[in-house]
Amino acid sequence: MSEKVLKILQTPSVTLRIPGPVPLRTILQHFQIEKLIYGGEGLSRVEGEVVFTPYVLPGELVEAERLTTRQHVQRARLVNVLEPSAERVDAPCPVFGRCGGCQYQHATYSAQLRIKRDILVETLRRVGKIEFDPAAVAIESGPPYSYRNRAQFHLEHGRVGYREMNSHKFVAIEQCPVSAPKLNEVIAALNRMVKDRRWPKFVAQIEVFTNDDQVAVERTRERAARRQTFL
């Protein structure tokens, strides 16, 4: 291991996200992240191909494993951050890096806002052919956490959770930092209820909405759905 990498690994402020074990024969590559795209993945270019890697930040040098190829577009799994951004922070959520519900918790809040603004401006330019100066786009922001008022929960093995990014793998949760307090109350209640033997096993997915006063729950079984409102 080089002295440069060893020094980075010993730096307390560096967050290294390794979602899973690396197979012994896996071939890893280094990627220089140019920018983030819609959905939060980092874009890099290697030998004329575009590679998308989640949980990275612009300007970072990362080590990742290539996963899939489709029409000269590849995806990679982050293994190590060799040169972290100064805007990288520790995510407060214990399942961040596995859960597909969030893509930006590893960045400071000011960086998150700027990145989302830049993604909006680029989307308008590329898709809508509308030119904007990013600096001219005003940012109106709320709190960094406890703001999400809608969520879709999956129920498996007597637990409540989300799916991994670009996967059907289940990630169990006890709470969600970005969700509104009412939704976290629902998560706690569901985690108790699904352990009851009387819980209907056919309920595999629940979508929940809140306006901070009320919670509306929609349960889905195949194509049938029923909505209930709880005061």
pLDDT number for residue 133:
85
Tokens representing 228 are 């209930």
The CA dihedral of 75, 80, 85, 88, to the nearest 10 degrees, is 90
Asked if residues 29 and 46 have their Cβ atoms less than 8 Å apart, the reply is yes
Residue ending a domain, among 83, 117, 134, is 83
For range 109-120, the mean pLDDT? 94
Q: What is the CATH number of the domain that holds 31?
A: 2.40.50.140
In a domain, 132, yes or no: no
Tokens representing 195 are 């352990």
What is the rounded CA–CA span in Å between residue 183 and residue 177? 10
In a domain, 188, yes or no: yes
Q: Work out the burial of residue 153: count CB atoms within 10 Å of its CB; fewer than 13 is exposed, 13-18 middle, 19 or more buried.
A: buried
pLDDT number for residue 69:
66
SS3 81: strand
Q: Work out the burial of residue 65: count CB atoms within 10 Å of its CB; fewer than 13 is exposed, 13-18 middle, 19 or more buried.
A: middle
In a domain, 125, yes or no: no
In a domain, 120, yes or no: no
Backbone angles phi, psi at 192, to 5 degrees: -80, -45
User: pLDDT at residue 119 above 80?
Assistant: yes
Containing domain of residue 9, as a range? 3-83
Asked if residues 31 and 64 have their Cβ atoms less than 8 Å apart, the reply is yes
The per-residue DSSP string of 104-162 comes to: -TTB-HHHHHHHHHHHHHHHHHHTS-----GGGS------SSS-B-EEEEEEETTEEEE
User: pLDDT at residue 24 above 50?
Assistant: no
In a domain, 205, yes or no: yes
Residue ending a domain, among 83, 99, 118, is 83
In a domain, 45, yes or no: yes
Angle at 216 between CA 212 and CA 222, to 5 degrees: 150
Q: What's the number of domains the chain is made of? A: 2
Nearest to 155 by CA among 203, 217, 95, 187: 203
pLDDT in tens, 197-222: 998 888 889 999 999 889 998 766 54
pLDDT number for residue 73:
74
Residue ending a domain, among 50, 66, 83, is 83
pLDDT in tens, 54-94: 999 999 999 999 887 666 678 999 999 999 999 999 999 99
In a domain, 71, yes or no: yes
pLDDT number for residue 26:
61
Nearest to 190 by CA among 156, 231, 164, 139: 156
In a domain, 171, yes or no: yes
Nearest to 171 by CA among 150, 156, 190, 151: 156
Q: What is the CATH number of the domain that holds 218?
A: 2.40.50.1070
